[in-house]
Amino acid sequence: MRVFIAVATSIVVIGNVAAKLIMKTYWREEGIVFAPQSSYPVNLFTNIQDYLLIASLAGILIFVVLSMINNPKSEIAGITLGIPALILVWVSTSIFSSGVPLPLQTVSQPKTGARLMLVDKSDYSRNAWDIVRPDPENRYQWRRIFGGSGEEMELTHSADGEYSSNPQIYITDNGGRVFVQRGGLWTDCVDISENPPVMCSETPLKRLVAEAWKRRSRQIERMVKAAAIRP
């Protein structure tokens, strides 16, 4: 039983880490996000990642408990090895997850039904977001609306972590523009009627200071009101 638990846990941990590396590589090189294009891609994608981590930690705990039951004298050794193993799996998963886009929210274009998804691509160095849409040639892939890798043209980000809470995406009734709101401010406007899409925010953030963010938000808010969008 212990051997089975150990092998199964090892497979889950290695598979989880390998999946993170593959997702990160495809994102950085081609701007591809792996997620099903079903009705609920965000929930399913997020849950699978959580379940894999929980399964890894649970497997280690079960293995340690079974070892101590079979050999009561090994309690100290089991705890000594079990706790570092749990921490190692947690930390390694977090490290490999850094920079892997996490789906947050989807919206549909009113006329065509085509969907867009807001993703969190934050890593240890900064908070960052992006917008992707379904790949017509692969039902399990989404691609950046801006094209290219995840390091090219992108939404605004704040290196100091300001204006990063509760990111939301909205789309106009004609499906021509999308707006992004974070931390109570309007941070981005993207014209998706162009090919490729372009930023339609009026004021670039040349200086990442509070007043610059608020001024930009006010200007985008006028476009939001003109489009009759109600957050």
Q: What 3 state SS string does 106-150 have?
A: EEECCCCCCEEEEEECCCCCCCCEEEEEECCCCCCEEEECCCCCC
Which range is most confident: 16-25, 35-44, 132-141, 200-209? 132-141
Paired tokens of 45: 């994608």
- Position 19 scores a pLDDT of 81
pLDDT of 180 above 90: yes
**Each residue of 95-111: pLDDT tens digit?**
777 778 888 888 888 87
Q: CA-CA distance, 121 to 128, in Å (whole number)? A: 5
- Cβ–Cβ < 8 Å for 223, 200: yes
- Position 159 scores a pLDDT of 63
**Each residue of 2-12: pLDDT tens digit?**
677 777 777 77
- Position 229 scores a pLDDT of 80
- Position 170 scores a pLDDT of 93
| Residue 172 CA: distances (Å) to CA of 3, 6, 16, 115, 148 | 56, 52, 38, 13, 25
- Tell me the mean pLDDT in the region 57-75: 68
pLDDT of 157 above 70: yes
**Each residue of 189-216: pLDDT tens digit?**
998 887 778 888 655 555 557 777 888 8
Q: Where are the alpha helices (DSSP H) in the chain?
A: 2-30, 41-70, 75-97, 210-226
**Each residue of 116-133: pLDDT tens digit?**
999 988 877 778 889 999
Q: Give the pLDDT band of residue 71 (cuts 50, 70, 90).
A: low
Average pLDDT, the chain: 78
pLDDT of 49 above 80: no
- Give the global pTM: 0.78
Q: Give the pLDDT band of residue 77 (cuts 50, 70, 90).
A: low
